[in-house]
Amino acid sequence: MEKLRKAVNEIAYCKDHTKLSPLHRSLVPVLSFASALYSVALSLRRSLYFSGLIHRNRLTVPLISVGNLTWGGTGKTPMVEFLALWLVDSGISPLILSRGYAGGDETKMLQRHLLGRPVKIGVGANRAATAASFFEKCGYVDPNTVSERLWVDAKESSRSGSEKIGLAILDDGMQHWSLQRDIEIVMVNGLMLWGNCHLLPLGPLREPLIALRRADAVVIHHADLLSEQKLKDIELMVRDVKESLPIFFTTMAPTHIFDVRSFNSKKPLEALRNTIVLCVSAIGSANAFVLGIKKLGAVYVDQLEFSDHHMFQFTDMEIVRERLGELEKKFCSKPIVVVTEKDYDRDPDIFKHLDPFEVMALCSQLQITSQRGISEDSFKKLLKEMLTDILDREHK
């Protein structure tokens, strides 16, 4: 199954199918047929929702959706965390709505990062029902109060915050049409973009690119790993779909590492300098992870990549151990395994079976970079203005 997933991924990000291996090319007709069926089902489902034939629920508080057009690696969950922390600093208690996909590794990571903060995290496929249960249990804030707190000094707001819910954030929400959203933020993986521009499963697209017209803001993720020309090209592609769309740029900034055997064993990033590193990951953008590790000054960086959300097994650890042995023999030095937080949260114990090799998890934080006169402050200002307009309309 893992080999099939990798093959499908390679096809999805190959724009010229003639360059594929004969085995991969043999899968193209099957994937094309499946993609055509998906397109029909998608169009039907979309028309039923947007025509009003299927009811769309509206929450009692404003809803910000963070989603994407492709599978994995776009920075959705880090953006959700960024928004939650910003709202908390503004004295607003947010409710994060997640479906808890594939073992809930992203939800577990959010829970660790937001521990001790007035943030609620609701998990479940029916996110309208999940939200309703939290509103009943925790209550919600009057729209006037939320609007006022958005514009108050952050330190003053955080002191006067309420445990009642003031706003909801929909994680991976772009295709979750059963909930009406007030703000649609679309994340784009700058390193991978839209692959061959075909719909699933022939390509990586969940929807055609024209869906960007529904967005209120687009965020190009991993901007620090892209050339200036590449950023300009992406911006032109986005503007070609919706000229007025605000575009922002983000990066994942490494903060520290910790030993998987002890979560509290925080170490500085300098600990990876002049070492031999094996990156092991099962995430949507493994290349970004590896490039980030290379920037930290390791002597040599190797990688083992598994499909997104892959649940590691003991057989996988044997593959990792075999590669570690090869690296140790080649460099006459014991390599260090580095995994992502998502991989750690999926199964905190599995990597302990790599003893006596050291296994470290890399912690990173999403940052909005300053480019073309756009900054973190301008991003927050845009959100404040949109939310204020929404709250004023609802109050009237």
The string of pLDDT tens digits covering residues 232-266 is: 999 999 999 999 999 999 999 999 999 999 878 89
- Contacts of residue 102, defined as CB under 8 A and 6 or more positions apart, other chains included, come to 309, 311, 346
Whether the predicted pLDDT of 157 surpasses 70? no
Tell me, yes or no, whether 177 and 263 share the same domain.
Answer: no
Least confident segment among 270-274, 303-307, 370-374: 370-374
70 assigned to some structural domain: yes
pLDDT given at position 395: 61
Which two structure tokens, joined as six digits, stand for 97?
Answer: 């709505």
pLDDT digits (tens, 9 = 90+) for 301-336: 999 999 988 999 999 999 999 999 999 999 999 999
Residue 111 and residue 72 in one domain: yes
Does residue 172 form part of some domain? yes
In a domain, 55, yes or no: no
233 and 165 both lie in a single domain:
yes
Domain contains 56:
no
Rg of the chain taking only CA atoms, in angstroms: 22
pLDDT at site 388: 94
Averaged over 54-80, what is the pLDDT?
A: 95
Residue 167 and residue 301 in one domain: no
Shared domain check, 284 and 172: no
- pLDDT reported for residue 259: 96
Domain-located, residue 358: yes
Query: pTM of this prediction?
Result: 0.94
Based on the domain organization, do 104 and 40 belong to the same domain?
A: no
Q: Does 161 score more than 90 pLDDT?
A: no
Average pLDDT for 35-44: 97
CATH number at residue 169: 3.40.50.300
> Does 313 share its domain with 297?
yes
Question: Average model confidence (pLDDT) for the chain?
Answer: 93
112 within 8 A of 84, measured Cβ to Cβ? no
State pLDDT tens for residues 281-296: 999 889 999 999 999 9
Instruction: Tell me, yes or no, whether 57 lies in a domain.
Output: no
**Between residues 20 and 159, which one has the greater pLDDT?**
20
Name the domain count of the chain: 3
Same domain for 79 and 216, yes or no, is: yes
Share of the chain above pLDDT 90, in %: 83
Lowest mean pLDDT among 15-29, 69-83, 91-105, 263-277: 91-105
Q: Which domain does 313 fall in, by range?
A: 253-365
Residues 163 and 129 in one domain: yes
Q: In terms of domains, do 342 and 304 share one?
A: yes
Residue 393 binned pLDDT confidence (cut-offs 50, 70, 90):
confident
In this model, does residue 103 exceed pLDDT 70? Answer: no
Percentage of the chain exceeding pLDDT 70: 96
User: In degrees to the nearest 10, what's the CA dihedral of 299, 303, 308, 313?
Assistant: -120
Q: What is the mean pLDDT of residues 1-17?
A: 88
Distances (CA, A) of 210 to 168, 207, 214, 334: 26, 8, 8, 50
Count of CA atoms in the C-beta half-sphere (13 A) of 94 = 26
Same-domain status, 174 and 278: no
29 and 113 inside one domain = no
User: What's residue 147's pLDDT?
Assistant: 87
296 domain residue, yes or no = yes
Q: Residue 306 is part of a domain; what is its CATH number? A: 3.40.50
pLDDT class for 74, splitting at 50, 70, 90? very high
Is 224 a member of any domain? yes
